[in-house]
Amino acid sequence: MSLREYRQKRRFNVSPEPKGKEQTTQRTKGKLAFVVQKHRATAVHYDLRLEWRRVMLSWAMPKGPSYDASIKRLAVQVEDHPIEYNKFEGIIPAGEYGGGTVMIWDRGTWTPETPDVDALLKRGELKFSLEGQKLRGSWVLVRTRGRPGDAKPVWLMIKHRDQWVSTQDITELAPRSVVTNRLLVEIARDEGGDMRKAADGDPPSELKKILEDPKLLTPARRGRAKAVWHSKRPVH
Dist CA 89 CA 186 (whole Å): 12
Q: Which range in 2-10, 33-41, 164-172, 217-225 contacts Mn ion by CB under 5 A?
A: 33-41
Rule CB under 5 A: say whether 89 interacts with Mn ion: no
Number of residues interacting with Mn ion: please give it, by CB under 5 A.
Answer: 2
Quick check: 134 and 105 in contact, CB under 8 A?
A: yes
**Residues facing residue 37 across a β-bridge:** 47, 104
Q: What is the DSSP string of 153-217?
A: -EEEEEE-SSTT--SS-HHHH--S-TTT---HHHHHHHHT--HHHHHTTS-HHHHHHHHH-GGGS
Q: Please provide residue 124's backbone torsions phi and psi, each rounded to the nearest 5 degrees.
A: 80, 30
Smallest distance from Mn ion to CB 89, Å: 13
Rule CB under 5 A: say whether 39 interacts with Mn ion: yes
Site map (CB under 5 A) of Mn ion, residues 163-192, x = contact: ------------------------------
Smallest distance from Mn ion to CB 233, Å: 22
Q: Toward Mn ion, which CB reaches closer, 40 or 138?
A: 40
- State which of residues 47, 79, 80, 190 lies at the interface with Mn ion (CB under 5 A): 47
Q: What residues make contact with Mn ion under the rule CB under 5 A?
A: 39, 47
